[in-house]
Amino acid sequence: MSGSSPAVARSRPTVLAAPARIAASLLGAVLALSLLLAAGPVTAAFPDHINLELDSQLTRKPTAPAPATPTTTAPPSTATPGTVPGTAPGNPPGIAPLVLLGVGDSVSLQVYGKPDLSTTVVVSEDGTIQVPLAGPVEVKGLSPAQASQKVAKAFQDGEFLINPQVSITLDKGTSQQVSVLGEVGGPGRYPVESRTTVFDLLAQAGGKAEDSSDIIFLLRTDENGKVTRTPIDLSSLSNPNIDFPTIKFQGGDTLYVPRGEQVFIYGEVNNPGKVKLDPGMTLVQALTLVGGVTRRGSTSRIEIKRKKPGGGYLTVYPKLNDKLEPDDVIRVKESIF
């Protein structure tokens, strides 16, 4: 017993020293932390991007929740799937078809992967085309793209093909043509599209003749056979204060270009002949167009034969600034002296 007691006595300081070291370490850590706090901000020990994040988190003010916005339910769309409301299926949004199929048009029908179904057909009087297997399909008034979709649907509805790829193109159009008649370079029938203008048609017809009128007429026959006559004033194009009319031509329309109103000048002038009468034209303006009065002529000895409303002619002795009337016959006499 007496031999073991010194060993026990020696081990007690070791056991008691461990808590003391722990307490001393904690005290040292507290002192070090106090010194760091006294020396500057804690964030000085972190990288700059972490300091910025900490600063923003510490200085951020609480924000009130955003007010709830009322939700509205949009009305159900009535447009065909894959199209924009207000546009026809098979055409780009907002763009009208250039060509509409009509009676007498020859169209080419192509079915991808089915060469035996590809053919060329003519739109019949009832507005249909004969499609192999599917039978008659109405295409009158449709664009080629719309007609392609309708034929493809006929194949699907009849369970002849699954997801057919159909292409219809216009080979020869006879329904969408307008007749251009009158004082033009080449009267005839010319094809029109939805964007064809009056000037496009006149250009196809070789342009207006020199003595043609600036007022032309659009003749259109309705379903009852009544012909409407719409005047088009081409001179309004040069007047910014007048809106030039927008004309949408239809197959079967007629554009008539009449001869312009004229006056006739003879006698002592350099180039006697007919002169196109523009609105408001005066006598002196007409004389200028025929090269003026000769040396033998006199501007004070001019007479006009003018048609009377009831028939016959009336002799008028005009002044140079007087306005002329259609079909006036002007004579410039010789000077007396």
Same-domain check for residues 161 and 225: no
- Residue 20's pLDDT band (boundaries 50, 70, 90)? low
Task: Give the list of residues 6+ apart from residue 175 with CB closer than 8 angstroms, or none.
Answer: 101, 102, 103, 104, 105, 123, 251
pTM to 2 decimals?
Answer: 0.56
Structure tokens at 39: 């020396």
Out of 172, 199, 228, pick the residue that ends a domain: 172
Same-domain check for residues 122 and 164: yes
- Average per-residue pLDDT in the chain? 78
304 located within any domain: yes
The DSSP code for 107 is E
Does 5 score more than 60 pLDDT?
Answer: no
CB atoms within 10 A of CB 117: 20
pLDDT confidence of residue 265:
96
pLDDT confidence of residue 34:
61
Same-domain check for residues 280 and 253: no
Q: How far apart are CA 318 and CA 324, in angstroms?
A: 9
pLDDT confidence of residue 314:
92
CB atoms within 10 A of CB 152: 20
- Residue 252's pLDDT band (boundaries 50, 70, 90)? confident
95 located within any domain: no
Distances (CA, A) of 317 to 146, 233, 335: 67, 32, 15
SS3 69: coil
pLDDT confidence of residue 24:
62
What is the span of the domain harbouring residue 122? 106-172
The DSSP code for 208 is B
Does 112 score more than 70 pLDDT?
Answer: yes
**Cα 129-194-215 angle, rounded to 5 deg:** 130
289 located within any domain: yes
Q: Any idea what the CATH number is for the domain that residue 300 is in?
A: 3.10.560.10
Same-domain check for residues 126 and 160: yes
- Residue 321's pLDDT band (boundaries 50, 70, 90)? very high
Out of 144, 172, 200, pick the residue that ends a domain: 172
Structure tokens at 290: 């025929």
pLDDT confidence of residue 37:
56
253 located within any domain: yes
Across residues 224-248, what is the average pLDDT?
A: 81
CB atoms within 10 A of CB 239: 10
Same-domain check for residues 140 and 154: yes
38 located within any domain: no
pLDDT confidence of residue 167:
93
pLDDT-wise least confident of 116-120, 191-195, 286-290? 191-195
The DSSP code for 64 is P
Structure tokens at 234: 């081409």
Structural domain total, the chain: 3
9 located within any domain: no
pLDDT confidence of residue 120:
92
Out of 230, 257, 284, pick the residue that ends a domain: 257
50 located within any domain: no
What is the percent of the chain where pLDDT is above 90? 43
pLDDT confidence of residue 211:
87
The DSSP code for 260 is P
Buried b (16+ CB within 10 A) or exposed e, 47-58: eeeeeeeeeeee
pLDDT confidence of residue 287:
95
Q: How far apart are CA 164 and CA 71, in angstroms?
A: 42
pLDDT-wise least confident of 247-251, 315-319, 326-330? 247-251
pLDDT in tens, 60-94: 445 545 455 444 444 444 433 333 333 344 444 44
Q: Any idea what the CATH number is for the domain that residue 142 is in?
A: 3.30.1950.10
Contact 122, 104 (CB under 8 A): yes
Query: Smallest Cα–Cα separation from 112: which of 151, 157, 144?
Result: 151
